[in-house]
Amino acid sequence: MNSHFLGRQAVTLIALGTTCGIAWAAGFRGYMVELAGPASTFDWWGTFGALIFPGAVAGGLLGWAEALRRTGGRQYWRWLALAPLAFAIAPMLLPGAVPALLTQGLGGGAIAVALMAVGGGYAVSRRGPLWSRLACGITSAALLAALALAGPGIAGPALALTEPRGAWVAVLAASFVTVLALASSIPHRAVAPAADSLVPLQSTGLAGPGVRPRLGKDTS
């Protein structure tokens, strides 16, 4: 086993996942600006600590999950499917966030996005009982529809679906959450056989033809 190769592959996938997570969070901030309008503000903790950083964490964990999946999985590795919960936890660390959630519902959107990602990822994974995947899929789809249709109720008629800007905001929200759900399905997917996981990398010269990683445990 070439442990150096395995380490390099994992680092590459984690770095790629972290980059994608940062890009996702930064882009989703644009959707939040559209909803808040002129009242939207930026600050270091609220923007970077409660959104960009969780995006990096979630993306990095999902990248790590892909690295583990390609090398046979490990014990408990499927718990990485909960990575999107970083988006729900981080905002709750803001001063006064928990009382605001309980009394005014502020912060509920972040929790909904995380739940949509986790539930949607499980629903599309084709792993687990059909009834549970259907339940998660229907719930996530209902929340996603509510998110996409929330524009007019929050920002007024300017974001109505009959307006180009409102339709764009709805598409933006739906596509972002869908992408996050697809990424969140990685820990649920079947592990790749050792030989198959190296085929794309051998073609790029990153792995020699004799390199075979050791299979780990594929347990939940």
Contact 110, 173 (CB under 8 A): no
CA 115 to chain centre: 10
What's the angle, vertex CA 149, arms to CA 144 and CA 150, rounded to 5?
95
Full-model pTM: 0.78
User: Cα dihedral angle (220, 18, 126, 118), rounded to 10 degrees?
Assistant: 80
Q: Which of 61-70, 96-105, 131-140 has the least mean pLDDT?
A: 96-105
pLDDT band at 24 (very low <50, low <70, confident <90, very high): very high
First to last CA, the chain: 25
Tokens of 59: 């993306």
User: Cα dihedral angle (116, 121, 123, 126), rounded to 10 degrees?
Assistant: 180
Model confidence pLDDT, tens digit, residues 198-220: 444 444 444 444 444 444 455 54
pLDDT band at 43 (very low <50, low <70, confident <90, very high): confident
